Structure 1
Amino acid sequence: MSIWKELYDIFDKERSRWQQSSAGKQVISFELKANLGFLADALSSGLPQQAIIQGLECSLFEAKIKEGLSLSSLNRRTVTLKFIGEFAEFAKYVGKENCELVENAYSKIKSLQKLALAQPDGNYDLKIKSLFRFLVFLVAHLENRPLDQKSVRHTRD
């Protein structure tokens, strides 16, 4: 076998691995954004708490983890004080990488779903709203859009 063929095989294998990893990251990002959009619509329309909780999705994340996607393959950008701006509730995430944040988001979703199954009559309003705020923060961080109090004020007007 020629050296060129061997080099091409190595390149092709690495390119395929990179494409799979990139696709996995995009799928997770899509599912997080879909959950965020669903929560926003559900909260604004007054959907019952149980319906909101049942509507949250984790299936794409779980499938990618089963396929062997490593969350550490997400960009290694960390949360900074500058990123969170005036939103002190997110200060506890300063220094955390995206992989930890994504894992935390899905952990919160699964925990909420298990709680709702165990106690269907419970009040989960605060947990749902907390998850919504966290997903806003996480999606902004994944897209590298720092949180800005001024932009929040403009959207309220």
Structure 2
Amino acid sequence: MSIWKELYDIFDKERSRWQQSSASKQAIAFELKANLGFLADALSSGLSQSAIASGLECSIFEAKLKEGAALTALNRRKVTLTFIGEFSEFAKYVGKENDALVENAYSKIKSLQKLVAAEPNKSHDLRIKSLFRFLVFLVAHLEEQPLSRTSAKKAEG
């Protein structure tokens, strides 16, 4: 076998690995954005807590975990003080990497789903709103769009 063939095989294998990794990143980011969009619509339309909890998706995340996908590859940047701006509620995430943030998001989703199923008559409004804020933060971080009150006001107007 020639050296060129061996080099091409190495390149081809790495390209396939990169494409698969890229597809995993996009799938998880899509699922997170879809959950965020769903939550926004559900909150504005007054959907019931049980409908909100059951409408949140985790299937792509769970599949990628079984495959052993690296969650840190979604965005290599750590959360910084500059990124969170004036939103001090996210200060506890400064220095955290994506794997921890993404796992936290899905942990919050699973916890909400279990709590709503176990106690359907109890109000879980604060948890739902907290999850919404966290998903806004996480999606902004994945898209490298720093949080600012001015951009939040523009989005409202």
Q: 2:133: which partner in 1?
A: 133
With structure 2 as the length reference, what TM-score do the two structures score? 0.96
Q: Is the 8 Å Cα contact of residues 80 and 95 (structure 1) preserved in structure 2?
A: yes
Q: 2:148: which partner in 1?
A: 148
Q: 1:43: which partner in 2?
A: 43
Residues 1:115 and 2:119 are matched in the alignment = no
Q: CA deviation at 1:75?
A: 2.5
2: CA distance between counterparts of 1:154 and 1:71?
31
Q: 2:57: which partner in 1?
A: 57
Q: CA deviation at 1:154?
A: 2.6
With structure 1 as the length reference, what TM-score do the two structures score? 0.96
**Structure 2 residue ranges without an equivalent (≥5):** none
Encode CA deviations 1:107-147: one digit per residue, 9 max, x unaligned: 10011111112222221100000000000000000000000
Residues 1:97 and 2:97 are matched in the alignment = yes
> Which aligned runs of 4 or more in structure 1 are off by greater than 3 angstroms?
none
Question: Identical aligned pairs, as a percentage?
Answer: 76
RMSD over equivalenced CA pairs, Å:
1.0
Aligned length: 157
2: CA distance between counterparts of 1:156 and 1:62?
33
**Structure 1 residue ranges without an equivalent (≥5):** none
